[in-house]
Structure 1
Amino acid sequence: MVSDERRASPNTSSERATYGFVLYLGSYLLLGVFLLWAFLPNDWLTFIGFSYYPQKYWAVAVPVFGCVCFTMIFFLYIGANLLMVPAPDDLRNITDSYSLPPQPASIGTSVPPLYDIPITEVNKLMFAKKH
C-alpha cells in the first residue's frame, strides 16, 4: 500500500509524466523541422509550402552563438571567483570575523574551550629550527 505522502508527491503524478513525454516528442519535432530547414534547398522548401523562413545563415549562427556563450560562462565564472578571492598573502585567508582567540580554561572543566590557534603559534611549531 502506498502512503499518503508518496501519493501527494509531484514526482509520481501522471500529468507530470504526460507533460514530460509531450515535451520530449515536441523537442524531437522541432529538431526535425530545424534540420529540414537547415539542409533542404530553398526550392524544395518553397515546393513544400514554406515561403517565409529565416535565412540559412541563422542555421549556423544561432548554434555557434549558443556554444560560444555556453563556453564563455565557464571563463566568466572562473574570472568572477578570482576577483572575489583575496590575494594569497592577505590575512583574511587565515582568520575572519568568526575566529575565536585563545581563552583561559576555567577550573573544574574537563574540556577546554574551543578556539582558533593563532598563525604565529602554528609557524613556531611547524617551522622552528630543532637543535
Structure 2
Amino acid sequence: MEDLHSVSSPRRILSLSKKRRTLISLDRDDKAPGFGLSGEHGPKPSEVYGFVGSITTVVATGVYLIWAYVPDSWLHSVGIFYYPSRYWALAVPAYVMVSIALAWLFYIGLNFMSTPPPTSFNIMFDEFSKEPSISTFSEEEDRPIEPISDIGINRINDLMFNNKK
C-alpha cells in the first residue's frame, strides 16, 4: 500500500483531510486554462502560424524596401547582381490597389443589380415573412409575449404618418 504522506513531485500539494483527499497541481504542463497550452504539450497551431506569418511579413517588407530604395551600386558591393527591375516596385502595388478597387466596385454593382426595384412587393414580403398572430385575450388576463412576426406596412404607415397625439 502506498504511503499517504509521500508525494511524487515537490510541485504537488496533497491535502490530508479525513473527509477528502485532493491533489492540487502547480505544474504548468497540466491542462489548466490560462496557460496558453493545448490539450497536448506545446503551443497551439494558430499561435505558430501567427508567429511565422508575422516574421515572414517583417522580412518580406524589409527585402522589398531594400530592393526598392537602395542604389544599385550598394547592392553590387554586397554581391547582389540579379534582382527584378525597379519598375515592378511601383507597378505591383499599383496593380494590386487597382484590382482591389475594381473588385469593390464590382461587388457594389452586383448588389445593386440583385436588389429588387423600390416598387416590388418582394421588398415587403418574402418566403421568410411572418404574419402577426391574432390573440384573443381580455384586458384583465395576463397576456403572454407574442411570437416574433413582421410588422405590416399598414401599421408602420399608421405609426409614422398618422398625426394623432
CA distance in 2, matches of 1:74, 1:115: 35
Counterpart pick for 2:88 among 45, 58, 70: 58
More helix by share: 1
Q: Does 1:36 align with 2:63?
A: no
Counterpart pick for 2:76 among 46, 50, 67: 46
The structure whose Rg is larger is: 2
Unpaired runs of 5+ residues, structure 1, are: none
CA distance in 2, matches of 1:99, 1:59: 54
Unpaired runs of 5+ residues, structure 2, are: 1-25, 27-31, 137-142
* Structure 1 residue ranges (4+ consecutive) displaced by more than 4 angstroms after TM superposition: 100-106, 110-119, 121-128
2:102 counterpart residue number? 72
CA distance in 2, matches of 1:42, 1:69: 30
RMSD of aligned residue pairs (Cα, Å): 3.8
**Cα drift, residue 64 of structure 1:** 1.1
Q: Does 1:92 align with 2:122?
A: yes
8 A Cα contact 2:132 2:149, kept in partner: yes
The answer to which of 81-90 and 21-30 deviates more is 21-30
Change (3 A) 1:124 1:21: closer
Per-residue CA shift, 1:51-103, capped at 9, x if unaligned?
22111000000111112222233222211111111001111001112345688
Identity, % of aligned positions: 31
8 A Cα contact 1:45 1:51, kept in partner: yes
**Cα drift, residue 33 of structure 1:** 1.2
**Cα drift, residue 113 of structure 1:** 8.5
CA distance in 1, matches of 2:121, 2:101: 34
8 A Cα contact 2:129 2:149, kept in partner: yes
8 A Cα contact 1:105 1:113, kept in partner: no
Matched residue type, 2:95 = F
CA distance in 1, matches of 2:95, 2:64: 16
Matched residue type, 2:80 = F
Matched residue type, 1:78 = I
Q: Does 1:24 align with 2:54?
A: yes
TM-score by length of 2: 0.54
TM-score by length of 1: 0.65
Q: Which one has more relative contact order, counting CA pairs under 8 Å at least 6 apart?
A: 1
